[in-house]
Structure 1
Amino acid sequence: MLKRYPLVTIVIAQLFGTSLWFSVNGVGLALQEAVGLSEGDLGLLTIAVQAGFITGTLTIATTGLADRVRASHLFAISAVLGALVNAAFIGVAGNVTLAAIARFATGLCLAGIYPLGMKLVVSWTPSHAGAALGWLVGMLTLGTASPHLLRGVTLALPWQWPLLLASGLALVAAVMIFRLGVGPHLPPTAKGGRPWAGLLAFQQRGFRAAALGYFGHCWELYAFWTLTPFLVARELTRLGTSLDSVSWLSFTVIAVGMPGCVLAGRASRHVGSGRVAFIALACSGALCLLYPLLGSAPPLFLLGLLLIWGFSVIADSAQFSALASATAPSDRLGSALAMMNAIGFALTIPAIALVTSLWASQGLSVIWWLLPGPVLGLIAMRGLLIPAGKT
């Protein structure tokens, strides 16, 4: 049954597996009240996940593990370990150092979920990679947003419940992918391999342009997602309403990126992945510039802008991955994508650190720290504006 609908299986497993990513952010306000974590502490925990993900992707890229171990097996093992570590966080949440270590370990496990999910998609549906990866990244977006949803539906329960639910979803993802296996359109394993083999893909002009655009996108994306609850809470406070709906609205702002990814994937089949990525990055970059200038606008208007931003900020991600997949060496695809992810996610760390540490003093002005990412990304990817059907 699973192999009759491989793309559906992969994207649902991606949704479930990546629910681990922002699981702590979904209960951030509760953690501030229950164990006394500050906004800076929450930023540290988010950075720890990113650092773990970077370390993990670098490890599987430099060792060739992403291409020498069956992708479905590596995904399943990573999801199981991630579920266990995420649940273990509950016992150490009161100790910031141990909590950061637990989140770092969760990031390590996610390195075996997200890049390997991309490789699995390409192995099953290579002819429509842009559209298929649009669904995959859309589910990553829902997975990122899901902790806010899980907190919303368990608001009357202790903060531990959303974390346990996220771990349960990751276990389901492991079973789904293990049973599915690898598709027929890529070699399931690669024998041998050189350290840092993923870097060889940067010799390809198309891959290099896609990667540089992706790096600019990464600088903005996760910092925006980290800021989302703060931005939503600001507008609810201005409206004079309860903050109980912060989780629901934060989920909505992030989750609206899912249809953004899917629609971008469909558009890529007509106008090309390069053009779609350029337009999406330009839109989110424009919001980076304008949002602080509109800070005194009516709260409902700004909440509407957040929805537009959430829609556009992730819509380009799958198209960068599709462009990179098309130009990377096929026998080192997993390593190349993992290396691109590692570098891109390394750039999320200073961006997250800046916005979380400066939010209390600078307010909306911290958003301008995100603007260089889209600007430099747009400059780098001008060469990707190629005719439809060539990506």
Structure 2
Amino acid sequence: FEGNLGKKSVKYANLAYFGHMWELYAFWVWIPVFLKESYNLSYPSGDATLFFSIGTFIVFISGALGNAFGGLLADRIGRTKFNIIMLIISGSSSLVIGFFFNNTILALIIAVIWGITVVPDSPQYSVMITELSDQDYIGTSLTVQTSVGFGITLISIRLLPSFVHTVSWSFGFTLLALGPLIGILSLILLRKEPDSTKIGQGKK
């Protein structure tokens, strides 16, 4: 089992997943708060609760739609390529959304784009681990990947409000860009590994 986890390809796939998880759940937890506070700033006399409810619904449903079509696109262009594209877009969204904190409508549009792209790469990491791992250790490898990944989410969820308190919402979500950056670099390195041809039957 240790030899399986020590394989470079498995390490890179796991690192990419951990970067993805650093971003994903912190986004889900804190984007509703961001949108509500953005609305309160832009429209002090408006109904923030109504906007909060509708805006959050739109962001989350867009993520579900992105996930539904993501698998088809990943099969078409290759898992690692697809995930890199998703990480580039979601990571860029985390970097720029804060600059539109004073413009709620534009912030919501970026949040929807972020919501669409932050989710659909998730299943691909599990599939890659299944393809890259020794057959006797697939279950254990997936358990380790998921357990560590969810542990990482607890850290980013907890850190983000403290970071926002320090730098404001204008730069708060930039903390999450660290995850996509790690993910992109890990996937680039993964693509260079000889056994990466196992991914997607060679369509990596």
TM-score (norm. length: structure 1): 0.46
Q: CA deviation at 1:263?
A: 1.7
Instruction: Identify which of structures 1 and 2 has the higher relative contact order when contacts are C-alpha pairs closer than 8 Å and 6+ apart.
Output: 2
Give the secondary-structure state (helix, strand or coil) at the position aligned to 1:256.
Answer: helix
**Residue 222 (structure 1) aligned with residue 1 (structure 2):** no
Residue by residue over 1:204-262, the C-alpha shift from the partner in whole angstroms, topping out at 9 and shown as x without a partner, is: 33222211111111111111111111112023222342122223322321231112122
Displacement, 1:369?
A: 1.4
Q: Contact (CA 8 Å) 1:321, 1:337: kept in 2 or not?
A: yes
Quote the offset at 1:203 in angstroms: 2.6
Q: C-alpha displacement at 1:361, in angstroms?
A: 4.7
1:209 and 2:15 correspond: no
Equivalent-residue separation in structure 1 for 2:29 and 2:4 (angstroms): 31
> Would you say 1:282 and 2:85 are equivalent positions?
no
C-alpha contact 2:36 2:49 (8 A) present in aligned 1: no
Task: Provide, for residues 62-96 of structure 1, a one-character-per-residue CA deviation record: whole Å limited to 9, x for no partner.
Answer: xxxxxxxxxxxxxxxxxxxxxxxxxxxxxxxxxxx
Q: Select the residue among 79, 88, 100 that pairs with 1:294.
A: 100
In structure 1, what is the equivalent of residue 69 of structure 2? 263
Matched, 1:373 2:179: yes
Is 1:321 paired with 2:121? no
Q: Distance in 2 between matches of 1:337 and 1:264?
A: 21
Cα deviation for residue 325 of structure 1 reads 1.4
Q: Give the partner amino acid of 2:31.
A: T
Point out where structure 2 has 5 or more consecutive residues left out of the alignment. Answer: none
**Contact 2:66-2:117 within 8 A present in 1 as well:** yes
Any stretches of 5+ residues in structure 1 without a counterpart?
A: 1-196
Deviations 1:126-181 (A, max 9, x none): xxxxxxxxxxxxxxxxxxxxxxxxxxxxxxxxxxxxxxxxxxxxxxxxxxxxxxxx
> What do residues 32-79 of structure 1 show as CA deviations (whole Å, max 9, x unaligned)?
xxxxxxxxxxxxxxxxxxxxxxxxxxxxxxxxxxxxxxxxxxxxxxxx
Q: Contact 2:88 / 2:180 at 8 angstroms: preserved in 1? A: yes
Q: Partners in 2 of 1:209 and 1:361 — Cα distance?
A: 32
Q: Which is richer in helix?
A: 2
The one-letter code matched in structure 1 to 2:107 is L
SS in 2 for 1:241: coil
State the distance in 2 between where 1:301 and 1:293 align: 10
- Counterpart of 2:95 in structure 1: which amino acid? L
User: What is the letter of the counterpart of residue 120 of structure 2?
Assistant: A
Aligned CA RMSD, in angstroms, stands at 2.1
Identical amino acids, percent of aligned pairs: 25
Q: Residues of 2 paired with 1:262 and 1:383: CA distance?
A: 27
Q: What residue number does 2:140 align with?
A: 335
- Which of structures 1 and 2 has the bigger CA Rg? 1
Q: Residue 250 of structure 1: SS of its match in structure 2? A: helix
Residue 114 of structure 2 is aligned to residue 312 of structure 1: no
Residue 38 of structure 2 is aligned with which of 231, 235, 242? Answer: 235
TM-score (norm 2): 0.84
Q: Is the 8 A contact 2:164 2:172 kept in 1?
A: yes
Residues in 2 aligned to 1:309 and 1:230: alpha-carbon distance in whole angstroms:
15
Deviation at 1:291, TM superposition (A): 1.7
CA distance in 1, matches of 2:129, 2:67: 17
Number of aligned residue pairs: 193
Aligned counterparts of 2:167 and 2:131: Cα–Cα separation in 1: 42
SS of the aligned residue for 1:371 comes to helix
